[in-house]
Structure 1
Amino acid sequence: MSISRRGLFGLAGGLAAASVAGCGFAPTSSGGAASNSLTFRWWGGEARNKAYQAALKIFTEKTGIKVDAQYSGYDGYFNKLNTEFAGGNPPDIFQMDTALVSTYAAKGVLTDLSSYIPGTIHLDTLYPAVRSAGAVGGKPYGVPSGSGIAPMLYDKTVFEQAKIPVPADTWTWDDFAKLAGELSKAMGQGKYGSLDASKDDSGALQPWLRQRGKDLYNAEGKLAFTKDDLAEWFTFWDGLRRSGAICPPEMLSNTDSATGNHPLIAGQIAMTTGWGLAQMAPLTQHQLDIVIVPRGSNGKTGQAISGGVLLSVPVKSKNAEGAAKLIDFFISDVDAIKAMALSRGIPPSSKALETLTPSLSAADKRDVTYAQYAAEEVAKDALPPAPTAPPGYNDAKTALDAAAKQIAFGKMSIPDAVAQYFRDAEAALNGAK
């Protein structure tokens, strides 16, 4: 997913550096701070918003707890949240980015959920591999909602119209570059083979690095790759950009949410990282499909299994007990599992998988079978698990976005952009200690 949607992170000082204008936070019901009410915040596309609202209606019917539901796209989400943390008035429960949980936990603003496990939150319902996705220092600061691996999403209809074979799971980055170029020529003026993913850290850069035996970060929270690595990465995408194989930077402004404005749904590109079928397939009449992100020349996928998004509770939640009940509702209640389906990731438990499988759409079943296949390939990679994103990650990610865009817009050379990234990212990671 895009990095520009995140502003510079700083709970202790000048928060929300990026603009939150136009975020469109939408209240869907009223509620206060009493024990029979909760304020719940999340980000997501149309499908996730509808799923949450349906589930929350069921939660209120079953528990009597009213939920003031607030939602938006990712752009500005954490900026608004940071402002509320600084003002001492955060929501009672909110959707947390797995990659940011350590940053927020380090600031001391998240509730250690240990006291609610297993009495209220039945964490043991989840697969063992994902239970610790929200843990920092061995303490649970968030409960995962799903599991998954970032795929490459593509428009199968466009491939068929262009009479170009769809990518195979054995493809490499060289294959990707060739396909993107062929698609751009076949699709015509103003249309491009792929999204520019030079700024996509977890969905593109991380597997590319892991294929080479490196990673974004190490266990000590430092950068685990070199300037030469990043220069090679930027050079790869710059060549595709100059040849017209990938979209111009102006198109990246609509890539942060699963909406009809996304370049893939708008018919402007044929391939993109950052999204699965469950979010995007309902938005188009075209047939979409997914494939593993291009492999390295050694055949490794470089993928890292994630825990989906998390649900976290602020220390200053006015109804932490109710928030814990809502978390457990999402992971344990059959009706909630049905309502949410795959809107927050691949089923994270056998209970969820067994509940959902009979009613899954073709697109959802494809997401599930892809995740199972990718997990098997990850096991074959025999690579170490990816370290938890360290405190300061958000600013480091924003630095990658800035450097990639400086190159894309022709405002900075690759060496200068690489130097800027390392300067800003290392300062962010060191400053968060």
Structure 2
Amino acid sequence: MKAARYLLCLLPLVGCARERPVDPLGRHTVIWLYPIDVNRPMIERLVQRFEKENPDVHIDIRAVPGSQYQTKLKTLVAAGEPPDVFVCGDVFFAYLKPFLSNLTDLVRRDAKEIDLEDFYPAVRKAMTPGGHTYFMPQWFNVSLLYYNRRIFDAAKEPHPTKDWTWDDYAQAAKRLTKNGVWGSTVTTGWWGEWLTLVHGAGGNFFDAGITRTTLDSPEAIRGLTFYRDTIREGFAPPPGEGPTTGFASDKVAMDYGGHVGLWATYRQLPSLDWDIEALPKGPAGRRGGEISLTALGISKTSPEREAAWRFLKFMSSKESIRAHVDQGYFAIRRSVGHENRDKGKAPHNRAAVETALETAEPIPSSKDFVEIALNLVQPEIDRMLTENVPPEQAARNATNAANAFLKATNGGAR
């Protein structure tokens, strides 16, 4: 993926003039590039509410398939026609930063209305990289341990607790792997699980200055070894095997690092009796579960910055967050979470989310992280799982490739 370098080379084009749509009612028109997903009906209802409350603003939704979103956004930037509002969040922030408006002045001006203290501390940290605000969050994901209550109860196995260690998790998974049931599953193809385990073992993706990759450290290798051993020790299916729907199949006892965005899906499966717990403690304690935000930012060249800002405030307001909770998401605002709007629905152990947030970490603050993680490191991790490459060798290969890239491109921190 060449997204970071591609976007940065477009900087001279950002200021190009663009023709604005003319609203027949004379309203401010805010163009929002929206990735189509299952939330579209909810999003359209929220836009209607916003326009009713702000009759002088029209939100022009330009919907594109989610899989094509980044390509479409880059194309619009290259043409000098970036949308006023687009989805960013912390994962893609580092290479989108040159095109985002710094919203810190607006946040300070409207501090009482926004009430940043209502967001969880880990969310506030993730939404203010470098101490500045470039986007406003709608919902978040944090790494958790998902477990199937029915499978545990049928095996007379005690449910996971927040005091579990890696060994408790592995031993329970081994005991539960029988009669067509897997004790756990492995998330492949991206960093979601293995980087969490690297952190839990005391390792890091980069050094403190984000000048080199450090996945070849003894701690990082220990985390990668545990990741590999979930398959080698037989309690998680190898890539390409096991139930195609994973934890949702009702044939997997646990999912390490599952996604909050799947709550709505799980709730629609009547036979799936599930709950959550904070991730088990690794050698470095409970450290490094990922937190990631889905958020909206404003183009730095938008002629409708104030109108777009009103829309961002609305989409992060209590009214909007309540709609997200009704859709199946965990409330990003504490005050909305305490309303218990989805009381009685799984997951029941909501305290696990707050426990996880205490030690959750955003992805490394590097414009090169996504490209390095997916294109250089991930292939070595995959070979470790599928070709029996020793973790030590996979870690060295990944580290050497990543550091060669950083040296060649003069990459590093934001």
Counterpart for residue 341 of structure 1: 325
Aligned equivalents of 2:348, 2:188: Cα separation in 1 = 27
SS in 2 for 1:195: coil
The alignment status of 1:410 with 2:393, answered yes or no, reads no
8 Å contact from structure 2 (residues 152, 159) kept in 1: yes
Distance 1:373 1:41, change over 3 A: same
Equivalent in 294, 306, 314 of residue 309 of structure 1: 294
Counterpart for residue 424 of structure 1: 401
Q: Could you tell me which amino acid in structure 1 is paired with residue 383 of structure 2?
A: Q
Aligned equivalents of 1:59, 1:251: Cα separation in 2 = 46
Counterpart for residue 131 of structure 1: 124
8 Å contact from structure 1 (residues 295, 302) kept in 2: yes
Give the drift of 1:195.
1.9
Q: Cα deviations across residues 12-62 of structure 1 (Å, max 9, x unaligned)?
A: 2799xxxxxxxxxxxxxxx95752343242476x3x444433322322332
Aligned equivalents of 1:118, 1:237: Cα separation in 2 = 43
Equivalent in 358, 366, 390 of residue 366 of structure 2: 390
RMSD: 3.7
Counterpart for residue 53 of structure 2: 62
Counterpart for residue 269 of structure 1: 252
Map 1:229-308 to 2 at 5 A: 229-250=219-240, 262-272=245-255, 273-276=257-260, 278-285=263-270, 286-297=272-283, 300-303=285-288, 306=291, 308=293
Unaligned runs of 5+ in 1: 1-6, 16-30, 255-260
SS in 1 for 2:34: strand
SS in 1 for 2:310: helix
Give the drift of 1:199.
5.9
Distance 1:141 1:335, change over 3 A: closer
Equivalent in 310, 325, 330 of residue 310 of structure 2: 325
Map 1:58-207 to 2 at 5 A: 58-64=49-55, 65-68=58-61, 70=63, 72-73=65-66, 77-105=69-97, 108-119=98-109, 122-127=113-118, 129=121, 130-146=123-139, 149-186=142-179, 188=180, 191-197=181-187, 201-203=191-193, 205-206=195-196
SS in 1 for 2:319: helix
SS in 1 for 2:249: coil
Distance 1:90 1:159, change over 3 A: farther
Equivalent in 28, 31, 42 of residue 38 of structure 1: 31
Counterpart for residue 52 of structure 1: 43
Give the drift of 1:289.
0.6
Distance 1:366 1:94, change over 3 A: farther
Aligned equivalents of 1:8, 1:184: Cα separation in 2 = 41
Counterpart for residue 341 of structure 2: 359
Q: Cα deviations across residues 311-347 of structure 1 (Å, max 9, x unaligned)?
A: 2122244643332111100223x43232122769643
8 Å contact from structure 2 (residues 215, 395) kept in 1: no
8 Å contact from structure 1 (residues 204, 293) kept in 2: no
Q: Cα deviations across residues 186-213 of structure 1 (Å, max 9, x unaligned)?
A: 3x1xx5322214666455533x344444
8 Å contact from structure 1 (residues 102, 389) kept in 2: yes
SS in 2 for 1:99: coil
The higher radius of gyration belongs to 2
TM (norm. structure 1) is: 0.75
Counterpart for residue 354 of structure 2: 372
Counterpart for residue 209 of structure 2: 220
Q: Cα deviations across residues 63-121 of structure 1 (Å, max 9, x unaligned)?
A: 24234153655x5543443344334344332222313313321xx11111134334467
Aligned equivalents of 1:368, 1:71: Cα separation in 2 = 34
When structure 1 is superposed on structure 2, of 398-407 and 155-164 the one drifting more is 155-164
Aligned equivalents of 1:11, 1:62: Cα separation in 2 = 40
8 Å contact from structure 1 (residues 145, 345) kept in 2: no
Q: Could you tell me which amino acid in structure 1 is paired with residue 252 of structure 2?
A: I
Aligned equivalents of 2:246, 2:357: Cα separation in 1 = 28
Q: Could you tell me which amino acid in structure 2 is paired with residue 341 of structure 1?
A: V
Q: Could you tell me which amino acid in structure 2 is paired with residue 397 of structure 1?
A: A
Aligned equivalents of 1:417, 1:127: Cα separation in 2 = 43
SS in 2 for 1:140: coil
Aligned equivalents of 2:378, 2:326: Cα separation in 1 = 28
8 Å contact from structure 1 (residues 92, 323) kept in 2: yes
Aligned equivalents of 2:205, 2:327: Cα separation in 1 = 27
Give the drift of 1:395.
1.3
Distance 1:414 1:33, change over 3 A: farther
Distance 1:110 1:403, change over 3 A: same
Aligned residues: 386
The alignment status of 1:9 with 2:7, answered yes or no, reads no
Q: Cα deviations across residues 352-405 of structure 1 (Å, max 9, x unaligned)?
A: 335xx24223346736422233456x4xxxx9x778522211112213332222
Distance 1:230 1:117, change over 3 A: closer
TM (norm. structure 2) is: 0.77
8 Å contact from structure 2 (residues 182, 253) kept in 1: yes
Distance 1:118 1:367, change over 3 A: farther
Distance 1:57 1:307, change over 3 A: same
Q: Could you tell me which amino acid in structure 1 is paired with residue 31 of structure 2?
A: L
Aligned equivalents of 1:147, 1:301: Cα separation in 2 = 19
Aligned equivalents of 2:378, 2:110: Cα separation in 1 = 40
Aligned equivalents of 2:182, 2:308: Cα separation in 1 = 44
Distance 1:400 1:66, change over 3 A: same
Distance 1:81 1:238, change over 3 A: same
